[in-house]
Chains A and B, each alone.
Chain A
């Protein structure tokens, strides 16, 4: 069967089971858009290519399937750089297809030409320029294979225009062909049996262990296995920013989020532990604080599918390379073989200590006095109490992100979608759209800040026109809030270029202009009724602007570069 390169490209997506792609056509990718008219593939037309990338990420986050975006060459490819890097940092499976100028024009500074391969080399797990149409199916299959196996990540396929228009003989390579064609790519999935036994032995000796759970547990679909391990051992669990929802917040063993803005008990449990069982976590600087002062007495069991993570920050006592789900399942067997829960040491003293910390240092904030602005924490608490348990919450980056992670309650995996590693402002709106496309059965709320919202809000036009009913809560404090917090605390209250204004833009008018229903909430008594009104609207996007207190800061906080022992639990109150 003879196909054009364009037809082969779209057919490859269909063969990979892709149901939806996010994109925006342009010159060089034009031929690929023609066969989309005949395809069952749903294409969502974005308003900016960055939006396409973040939507693909949001989709992948909640479905576990690779997100796909299609854009043209030059500026479209460069607009995709941020989401590619975001997906690379947070290990999101994603396949990006970019148009390229015709092969004969490559390197001539042709119109809308850029060195896409060179520009995206360090922001992708792999990228490939396709020079003949005959190679397209193989390259596409390889792209999906690489994006979804081992440590997931973004893969970019760059396709020149003449490759899309030339003819090829259709051939779909087998899985075996793909593996044989990638001799340098053999991710380890099975953990080393001897190391797993050693890990089980260390667990059986630890008096003050903590399960340090990272995003890798979600990527490996290992939430159930984790719960089995936690309940078999009775060990407390902390879930990092990337792992919120991997273990239910309401579970008695859950201590919540550690890190720079983690709660006191989660942070301090790690500091005082004698064994950290790191599962799909990477000892990020936002978790460890000053590395030399991090969990000084803890032995480390480190499980990760990426061998480069083991020993990158902290040398593990027991390194295990492997898929988190497979390793945790084997760990469960190994612990069971040693006698299970009954054989675990008495950890009553440890739990008493943890409960005491929880009681002494709960998450807390000063509720608003009558006439004051809304407290952002209060808005998140209301959202938590008024939305179904399986609601998907996305966020941008900054104070609102931390408040959402701290005060929302995550009970199920794949309900929290945020930009952890790269910290991409503007992530939440497009990510929410992608998440809603992936899980149309679930309610999706984007928790956003006013600064973030202004970066990617135009994608609400996409949501309106495609009838993707996401809901957006803007915590409008009229500032780049986290920057303001740092300038207040570390720059002597010298506020430099951080004020945004509460009224400019008019968020309600702006949202309405983009086809959304919009509300503004200024009085605490209106929070709940407005959220309920928003929840009842399911045929178009809703934006609720909450006017929040500008001076509110995120606590607890471990200042950058400080030890976790120096956690500030509230203004002027240090924990230790």
Chain B
């Protein structure tokens, strides 16, 4: 069995009710779990971009992307190679921060260039936007202080600008 690798699909769809259900249904019926999902309108409010991160082998992914493209509401599908894409996630984390540990916690937040967005007597909430791996590290370093709640957004991604050849780094699937 081929290794299940993370793939990022960027799917441009009509901004209408039910489209997300159609798209996610194609993964669900094949029992593939969507690792991360982000949906928002594009600069054209008639269109939305769905960014899907899914762990799946390449062959079934090709079939899923072909089936996705058959959906009437899907305009374009781009598979982004993580090495050729800029990826960002947002993380919100509530951490225990007693008077004894607060200094250490704020130090970690500032090293990562995160922001403290809410403070209580014994806890605080920090936010950090960045590469998924950076968010992983951030959460790991905060864990010893006691994470009360943690929420990550779905991943958004765009292809990197090409600086060498004239060929587009995007692989169009259609």
Contacts and interface: CB of A to CB of B under 8 A. Distances in A.
A306 B66 CA distance: 9
A121 B63 contact: no
Contacts of B107: none
A182 B73 CA distance: 8
A129 B22 CA distance: 14
Interface residues of B, number: 20
Per DSSP, chain B at the interface is mixed
A312 B18 CA distance: 27
A308 B72 contact: no
A311 interface: yes
Contacts, number: 36
Given A117-B18, A312-B63, A146 B72 contact: yes
A183 B67 contact: no
A122 B66 contact: no
B13 interface: yes
B67 to A, nearest CB: 5
Interface string A143-179: 0001000000000000000000000000000000000
A118 B72 contact: no
B150 interface: no
Interface string A325-345: 000000000000000000000
B25 interface: yes
A126 interface: yes
A422 to B, nearest CB: 15
Interface in B1-34: 13-14, 17-18, 21-22, 25, 29
Residue among A121, A183, A307, A312 facing the most chain B CB atoms (10 A cut-off): A183
Given A182-B72, A184-B13, A184-B75, A307 B66 contact: yes
A545 to B, nearest CB: 41
Nearest to A126: B72
Interface in B55-75: 62-63, 66-67, 69-75
Nearest to B67: A308
B67 A122 contact: no
5 closest A-B pairs by beta carbon, nearest first, are A308-B66, A184-B75, A185-B72, A126-B72, A184-B74
11 contacts: A121-B25, A146-B72, A183-B14, A183-B75, A184-B71, A184-B72, A185-B72, A308-B63, A308-B67, A311-B62, A312-B66
Given A129-B18, A184-B73, A185-B72, 19 more contacts: A117-B18, A118-B21, A121-B22, A121-B25, A122-B25, A122-B29, A146-B72, A182-B72, A183-B14, A184-B14, A184-B72, A307-B66, A307-B69, A308-B63, A308-B66, A308-B67, A308-B69, A311-B62, A312-B63
